[in-house]
């Protein structure tokens, strides 16, 4: 079975681990074959990629077109699989799993998160035990703790955390979902705040000044 890349021992960098502060040595990858990531993305043979800590982070067979581009990094026990791609200074670490997904533009995904069939972009953070399936996150969104988000779109500083479950929702403009909330087919905008509530087919909003004192969301950025 052909290997699709090699680790370059003469092109490495050592970073401080974002959580422990300990040094982590990363190796740049180099494609040995043409790699089909998707119908619109092919990595040519002989191209430099991003950085990984070891082969456990990235399958080394042509059957799986997953790839790390630019200066993106994958380390610890994190893994990309099933034609996933990470690029543009993003980082995936801890025990995170990226499955059939794209991660780009200064994104951080860590802890025990599982990302499936999703696009995570625009300086977003996904952490804790969060599970995202068929989700678009863009523009400084955050999902953390034990939140589950499916078939949804999160934009503009939206934040989902705790035991919240979202399915078929759209969140905009610093909308927040906390506690054991369950939302189905809802739209949240204008800094809407939902805590320990259940809603279906609802449109929720709260117009506030972004710098207004608001204890529930202070310190979350």
Note the pLDDT tens digit of each residue in 110-139: 999 999 999 999 999 999 999 999 999 999
19/87 same-domain check: yes
Among the ranges given (143-147, 167-171, 215-219), the one the predictor scored with the smallest mean pLDDT: 215-219
Q: Is residue 38 pLDDT above 70, yes or no?
A: yes
Q: Give the model's pLDDT for residue 86.
A: 98
> If pLDDT is split at 50, 70 and 90, which confidence band does 206 have?
confident
106/145 same-domain check: no
104/139 same-domain check: no
95/139 same-domain check: no
> If pLDDT is split at 50, 70 and 90, which confidence band does 167 have?
very high
84/8 same-domain check: yes
- Please tell me the total count of domains within the chain: 2
The helix/strand/coil state of 55 is helix
24/90 same-domain check: yes
- Any domain includes 116: no
Residue 131: other Cβ atoms inside 10 A: 20
Provide CB contacts within 8 A for 210, sequence distance 6+: 174, 191
Residue recorded with tokens 């533009």 = 105
11/82 same-domain check: yes
Q: What is the mean pLDDT of residues 11-39?
A: 96
Q: Give the model's pLDDT for residue 2.
A: 83
pTM of the model: 0.91
The helix/strand/coil state of 57 is helix
Residue 175's φ and ψ, nearest 5 degrees, are -60, 145
Q: Which residue range(s) make up the domain with 165?
A: 129-211
45: left (phi over 0), alpha (psi -120 to 50) or beta: beta
Q: Give the model's pLDDT for residue 207.
A: 54
């Amino acid at each position: 079975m052909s290997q699709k890349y090699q680790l370059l021992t003469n092109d490495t960098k050592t970073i401080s681990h974002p959580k422990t502060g300990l040094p982590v040595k990363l190796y740049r990858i180099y494609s040995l074959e043409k790699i089909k990531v998707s119908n619109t993305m092919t990595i040519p043979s002989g191209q430099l990629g991003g950085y990984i800590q070891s082969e456990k982070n990235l399958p080394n067979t042509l059957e799986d077109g997953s790839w790390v581009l630019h200066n993106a990094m994958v380390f610890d026990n994190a893994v990309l699989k099933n034609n996933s791609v990470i690029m543009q200074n993003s980082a995936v670490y801890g025990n995170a799993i990226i499955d059939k997904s794209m991660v780009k533009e200064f994104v951080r995904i860590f802890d025990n998160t599982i990302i499936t069939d999703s696009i995570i972009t625009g300086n977003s953070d996904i952490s804790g035990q969060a599970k995202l399936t068929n989700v678009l996150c863009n523009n400084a969104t955050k999902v953390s703790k034990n939140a589950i988000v499916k078939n949804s779109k999160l934009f503009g500083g939206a934040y989902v955390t705790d035991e919240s479950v979202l399915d078929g929702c759209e969140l905009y403009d610093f909308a927040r979902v906390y506690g054991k909330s369950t939302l189905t087919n809802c739209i949240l905008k204008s800094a809407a705040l939902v805590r320990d509530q259940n809603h279906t087919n609802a449109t929720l909003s709260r117009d506030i000044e972004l710098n207004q004192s608001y204890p529930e969301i202070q310190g979350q950025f």
